[in-house]
C-alpha cells in the first residue's frame, strides 16, 4: 500500500532516495524497483532488519533494474547521517506526527536535499485523525504514538519555515478511515468480528485491486482520505546564490 505518488515525486532511475521512518519498507521497495539508489532509515531495529531482508529478496528475485542499489541504516531523523545536499529525493511517510521536534526533522530534510530536490511528506489527515482521537486514547496516547494532528496549512507553513517550497498535494486511503474509526470505537486492542471483516476487505482490495473499490476510493479520497500528502521542493536558487557568493569571495581574495 503506497501513499506517495512516485510520478508526482518525479522519481527517476539512478536518483538517490531517502525513505525516512521507513517502517517495514513499503516505499523503499517501490523506489528500488523503479531503479533508484535507496537508503531506508528507521530507528527501530526490527524495522531495519525487516526492510533489509525484503530488499534483499527483491534483489535476489531480479525485480529491480541493474543500476538500482539499496542500503538500510538505523538512524535518528533529528541527526541524519548524510552530508549536506547529498540526495535527490526524500520520502517521509507517516513519521513526522511521531516526532516532538518536527522543526528539526524538517530542517534535516532540507539540509540533505540537493538544491532542486523534492520531498514527499505524508501525515494523517486532520479530520479523520480527530475522529480517531475522539473515539480512543489508546489509538494515539502511547509510547511512540501520534503526538499531534497537522492541519494542511500548518504543515505547509512549517515546511516553508524549514526552507522548502510546498507544492502539489492530495489525499489517500479513504477506505482505511472507516476501518480505523470502527477499530477505535470497539477498542484498538479488542478482537472484533466487524473489524476482522473490514480488514479482510482491505486485504482483498490491496491484493486484487478490483475496479469497484479502486473507483470508490478515488471518489472518497478528497472527502475522507486517511492521509494528507504534500510535495515540496528545495529551491534551486540556493545553489546559484551560493555559487555567486563563492565567486565574490574569490574575487575579493585576489
User: pLDDT tens digits for 88-146?
Assistant: 999 999 999 999 999 999 999 999 999 999 999 999 999 999 999 999 999 998 888 89
Confidence of residue 248 (pLDDT cuts 50, 70, 90): very low
The secondary structure of residue 84, as a DSSP letter, is T
Q: Residue 143 has what pLDDT?
A: 82
Supply angle C-alpha 78, 119, 43, rounded to 5. 35
Mean of pLDDT values over 65-80? 95
- How far is the C-alpha of 159 from the C-alpha of 120, rounded, in Å? 11
CA 182 → CA 129, 136, 145, 172, 195, distances in Å?
13, 10, 19, 18, 7
User: pLDDT tens digits for 3-60?
Assistant: 999 999 999 999 999 999 999 999 999 999 999 999 999 999 999 999 999 999 999 9
Q: Is the pLDDT of residue 247 over 60?
A: no
Would you say the pTM of this structure is higher than 0.75? yes
- Nearest in space to 114 (alpha carbons), one of 220, 3, 201, 236: 236
Q: Is the pLDDT of residue 242 over 60?
A: no
CA 141 → CA 49, 96, 145, 249, distances in Å?
26, 16, 6, 52
Task: Indicate the SS3 state at residue 93.
Answer: strand
Q: Are strands 165-172 and 227-233 parallel, antiparallel or unpaired?
A: antiparallel
Tell me the three cell numbers of residue 147: 503526538
Q: Residue 74 has what pLDDT?
A: 95
User: pLDDT tens digits for 172-207?
Assistant: 999 999 999 999 999 998 889 999 999 999 999 999
Amino acid at each position: 500500500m503506497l501513499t506517495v505518488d512516485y510520478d508526482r515525486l518525479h522519481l527517476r532511475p539512478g536518483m538517490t532516495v531517502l525513505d525516512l521512518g521507513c517502517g517495514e519498507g513499503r516505499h523503499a521497495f517501490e523506489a528500488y524497483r523503479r531503479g533508484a539508489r535507496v537508503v531506508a532509515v528507521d530507528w527501530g531495529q526490527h524495522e531495519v532488519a525487516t526492510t533489509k531482508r525484503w530488499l534483499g529478496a527483491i534483489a535476489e528475485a531480479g525485480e529491480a533494474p541493474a543500476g538500482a542499489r539499496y542500503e538500510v541504516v538505523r538512524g535518528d531523523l533529528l541527526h541524519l547521517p548524510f552530508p549536506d545536499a547529498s540526495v535527490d529525493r526524500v520520502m517521509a511517510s507517516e513519521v513526522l506526527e511521531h516526532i516532538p521536534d518536527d522543526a528539526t526533522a524538517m530542517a534535516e530534510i532540507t539540509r540533505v536535499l540537493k538544491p532542486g530536490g523534492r520531498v514527499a511528506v505524508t501525515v494523517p489527515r486532520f479530520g479523520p485523525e480527530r475522529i480517531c482521537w475522539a473515539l480512543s486514547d489508546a489509538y494515539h496516547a502511547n509510547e511512540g504514538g501520534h503526538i499531534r494532528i497537522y492541519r494542511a496549512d500548518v504543515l505547509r507553513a512549517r515546511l516553508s519555515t524549514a526552507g522548502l517550497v510546498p507544492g502539489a498535494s492530495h489525499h489517500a486511503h479513504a477506505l482505511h478511515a472507516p476501518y480505523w474509526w470502527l477499530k477505535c470505537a470497539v477498542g484498538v486492542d479488542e478482537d472484533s468480528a466487524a473489524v476482522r471483516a473490514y480488514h479482510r476487505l482491505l486485504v482483498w482490495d490491496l491484493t486484487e485491486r478490483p475496479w469497484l473499490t479502486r473507483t470508490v476510493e478515488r471518489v472518497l479520497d478528497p472527502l475522507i482520505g486517511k492521509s494528507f500528502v504534500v510535495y515540496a521542493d528545495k529551491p534551486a536558487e540556493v545553489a546559484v546564490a551560493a555559487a555567486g557568493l563563492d565567486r565574490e569571495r574569490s574575487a575579493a581574495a585576489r
